[in-house]
Amino acid sequence: MSTAEISGLREFDVELEAANLRGQWIYDEMLESVVGGPRPAGVPFLWRWQDVHAKLRKSCDVMPESLTARRNLSFINPDTRGTTHTMNMGMQMLKPGEIAYAHRHTMAALRFAIQGGPGLVTVVDGEPCQMDSYDLVLTPRWTWHDHENATSENVVWLDVLDIGLVLGLNVPFYEPYGEKRQPQRENLGEHLADRGGLLRPAWEQVKTANFPYRYPWRDVERQLQRMAGLAGSPYDGVVLRYANPVTGGSTMPTLDCWVQLLRPGQRTEAHRHTSSAVYFVVRGEGTTVVDEVELDWGPHDSFVVPNWSTHHFVNRSAQDAVLFSVNDIPTLKALDLYYEEPELSLGVQPFPPVPGNLRSR
């Protein structure tokens, strides 16, 4: 285009803007920038446990009562409004005898206990869920929930919510219960969490969503150790999903929780995917390299891997390293927007073969 033509087009752009219109040509530069995939939303970043825990202790002094807002510190990525563009991760502390008031919202949320134990519970739709250290408790969207610390020590847990997704779709709803505690179910037989087990009432409808569900760490650890000798994923090691207890699908409709074991000295292969993920180190020391940025982590550190960022894991310790993580894969898969490079690795390997079928003929 000539100089005069460019000038005329720019004047026309201003004219269109005044009429609340926009020419398609405005997007050409944007489309050229995403040839080969999106720009990662956010940057690789790590939050040290010792730093976060110190701030949590200080928050107990400057905020003597947790109130409805919670004594929660959100992890803010330097390049996004949240931890990722779809999720917020943070840590919350309760003092002995303290209650975090009951409320509900359309953000799906989960709680992963870091310093828990008998006496720490999250009550979900009237059902108390115990939070021992490293237990996972779900508070699905629009379920009433409150937290109570009946222990003699400060307790800490990890919060993850799909708040970026909910705000981006402009569907946030919030409702305080109006009292500290919600009423709890008196009849143990009415607990919905039990409907996610192997035995269920034959006379009831099948409940498939919004379970007030707890995944005890003792069960997770046992399963990790049983599968520790398998090859696992070349990109994530021995990685297990916290499956929906009824459907076997993702933990919640928008979020999936994983736990992965990296053997001593293991170095995984590099890949990238359109989903983003947040990580918490249960144990071990290692490095996650994200787009050539080295995140050196140790016990209870947290870090983020933005979407479409090439990354791999290295276990630098002499023991197994174990990472808990949350991703937005279910959202991407529901929209048919989940991609991986250099290959699709999620859910592609076959089941273990039947031994009897392997006999020579």
Q: What is the DSSP string of 65-78?
A: S-TTT-SEEE---T
Mean pLDDT of 228-238: 97
Residues 34-57: tens digit of each pLDDT: 888 899 999 999 999 999 999 999
Residues 173-202: tens digit of each pLDDT: 999 999 989 999 999 999 999 998 889 999
Place of tokens 């970043």: 45
Residues 59-99: tens digit of each pLDDT: 999 988 766 557 899 999 999 999 999 999 999 999 999 99
**By CB neighbour count within 10 A (0-12 exposed, 13-18 middle, 19+ buried), where does 32 fall?**
exposed
Contact by Cβ (8 Å): 138, 213: yes
pLDDT bin (cut points 50, 70, 90) of residue 361 is low
Residues 270-318: tens digit of each pLDDT: 999 999 999 999 999 999 999 999 999 999 999 999 999 999 999 999 9
Helix residue spans in the chain (DSSP H) = 3-18, 28-33, 49-62, 163-168, 217-226, 329-334
| Residue among 101, 121, 125, 129 nearest 184 (CA) | 125
Place of tokens 């009237």: 126
